[in-house]
Chains A and B, each alone.
Chain A
């Protein structure tokens, strides 16, 4: 059996390289603290594309803390969404009651029956064949709301909500973007 000091520099280097490689994934399998775990992309994708999937609180938190995750999430929303309403023009003042882009508009209409409630009305363009199933509201700080949408009736989707619902407040906010999928 040969001893270490008899080995050539290349052999010693090979031993070091093998040791380093083995060390590289040596802790695979050790459980991570679940509260510190990053959201994996599979969860992110499912959250965006499956209406029934909840929006994890961990994702909400990480979006506000991680600029890279925010960029990725925003890119994914854009790619996977059928419709996108960008942030309102800076010139607009006061709360918004209507958000419009070429194809359709989203209106907020007070309820005649309950003064603390209003309707969110999403009017689909005539040529639309696929009705969106999910609405995402996204702000510049990474805050995001996900809302499953019911089936439309006569080209209009209706949601009845309290006036202080975060979705309502977000729709009124100039700094939010809307994605419909």
Chain B
């Protein structure tokens, strides 16, 4: 019986591919994530777009280098990829420099520079930068997880058992490519995804028979779609069962329609390509499109990747609370009510499914439904405002660090914090050199300046903000370290973007014309709608399923 009502508990069945990708992204080593979130996402893009062939060729070259790191050890390759530490450029560099013996360097044709390792041997002439190695390592992790170690090792051993040549490396990469293609063919949920896409388009067509574009996607449409489609679990694999998954998929659809629509507007022809070209989409092109779309969603990932990851700009709760809003990008402001519905009702939905898993009685389930969510829309706005204030404080604190380090990013950040900043004091010559201006800027931007200027006041505010924060990276003994300063430089830019996005969202939401008038009334109305739908999905459906299974 449990198998039959599996769908009642689970929002959707994750594909094997998603599970494997998740496994890779959650792998830890030495107490931290082996791969940064941005590397995991980059791997995901590479695989779903099937644009991995060139990267497999790079990986095959890296395997050759890895085998040379400890040429007498049978597990040299494994040590490189699974025992060198977290997959970071500086970690790989340190490992290679330590392991690679001079003898191997000269005889094997290897050379090291600050940025890369190069092989020049027979007809091979190839370099791999250290910054590329984390992605290659992530791809290797996916290969071993999906294909299996035995199969992978059998292929890679050819690189150490035969005379090295360009052809051998290329053949190895091709073999890996074939194996990966076969795996993805049967594990990427292409058919189901296509069905879902058609379902979404079909709904738009029936709602807007005269035609639609991405701007036809609005809050009412999402709610209607969810009410209609959420219980058709067997048809759509449960992919539309929860409101948050509906929101997510409509954001994806919005992005894809917007992107292709923009391309149409750029090209003067009426279509991209022509009908005769209506064959497969080139993987490299697809990856490029997806990367362009994804770049706006990577803000939070950037804070969790080097160099910003060494500073606790946001704690886990803040990160989690802002995740959906930031990943939605500008679309959050197009669908503010849907975003809030996802944020506020999803935790209640999670509690319901957990209760069902725990086999809680129907009376209790009904009570959980009637109780409603733990927060409402107004309290969520309060939390977003709190996050915004925190980000503002962290921006000022970052300015203090960058001013202390006399880092050029301080200027941009200062102007972002105060666009009307009066800098006329800087220009004491008719034709000042850039260096002189910079020097003057940092001289004046101190809290202890004898002359009070906008800059000195800003520096004072920055200092006070810094002193109030007791998180990692915000201590006096840390802020002179190069990696910390770099982290603040990268992080401050992200924070500027985060603040801007949150501001836009809050402003749009405050001006939104709501079906029920104001946000308080809207929440009351939505509570009833969601209660009715949850009852349908989690009480009535289970009741009918149970009676079907009764002898």
Contacts and interface: CB of A to CB of B under 8 A. Distances in A.
A21 B49 contact: yes
Interface stretch (B108-116, B128-136, B207-215, B462-470): B207-215
A89 B10 CA distance: 50
Interface string B135-152: 000000100110011100
A11 B289 contact: no
A8 B272 contact: yes
B213 A2 contact: yes
Interface in B37-83: 37, 40-41, 44-45, 47-49, 74-75, 78-79, 82-83
Main secondary structure of the interface of A (DSSP, over half): helix
Given A16-B194, A80-B75, A45 B252 contact: no
B260 A41 contact: no
Contact of B148 (A3, A8, A40, A72): A72
B144 A41 contact: yes
A83 B382 CA distance: 64
A22 to B, nearest CB: 4
Given A21-B48, A22-B252, A42-B29, A79 B75 contact: yes
Contacts of A24: 17-18, 44, 47-48, 188, 193
Q: What bracket does the count of chain B residues touching chain A fall in?
A: 35 or more
A71 interface: yes
Interface in B245-285: 248-249, 252-253, 255-257, 259-261, 263-265, 270-275, 277-278, 281
A66 to B, nearest CB: 10
A40 B193 contact: no
B211 A3 contact: yes
B212 A18 contact: no
A1 B255 contact: no
Interface string B283-295: 0001001100110
A34 B408 CA distance: 45
Contacts of A32: 19, 22-23, 26
B259 to A, nearest CB: 6
Contact of B25 (A18, A29, A49): A29
B45 A7 contact: no
Contact of A23 (B26, B78, B196, B270): B196
B201 interface: yes
B374 to A, nearest CB: 19
A76 B14 CA distance: 29
B273 A21 contact: no
A11 B260 contact: yes
A13 B257 CA distance: 11
A8 B275 contact: yes
A14 to B, nearest CB: 5
Nearest to B18: A27
Contacts of A112: none
A28 B40 contact: yes
B27 A29 contact: no
A75 B150 contact: yes
A22 B82 contact: no
B21 interface: yes
Which range holds the interface residue count of chain A? 35 or more
A88 B155 CA distance: 31
Interface string A3-43: 11111111101111111111111111110100001101111
B264 A42 contact: no
B27 A40 contact: yes
Contacts of B261: 1-2
B105 interface: no
B256 A18 contact: yes
Nearest to B152: A72
Best-buried of A16, A41, A43, A49 by chain B (most CB within 10 Å): A41
Given A6-B211, A37-B23, A42-B27, A22 B34 contact: no
Nearest to A20: B193
Interface in B75-105: 75, 78-79, 82-83
B153 interface: yes
Interface string A42-79: 11111001000000000000000000100110011001
Interface string B379-420: 000000000000000000000000000000000000000000
B256 A22 contact: yes
Given A18-B293, A29-B25, A5 B211 contact: yes
Contact of A76 (B29, B149, B193): B149
Contact of B256 (A1, A19, A37): A19
A72 B152 CA distance: 10
B458 interface: no
Given A3-B212, A11-B260, A75-B150, 9 more contacts: A5-B211, A6-B211, A10-B277, A15-B260, A18-B260, A19-B256, A30-B22, A37-B23, A40-B23
Q: Nearest 9 A-B pairs (CB), nearest first? A: A24-B48, A25-B44, A3-B211, A8-B271, A18-B256, A72-B149, A45-B82, A22-B252, A19-B256
Interface of B: 14, 17-19, 21-29, 34, 37, 40-41, 44-45, 47-49, 74-75, 78-79, 82-83, 141, 144-145, 148-150, 153, 188, 190, 193-194, 196-197, 201, 204-205, 211-213, 215, 248-249, 252-253, 255-257, 259-261, 263-265, 270-275, 277-278, 281, 286, 289-290, 293-294, 323
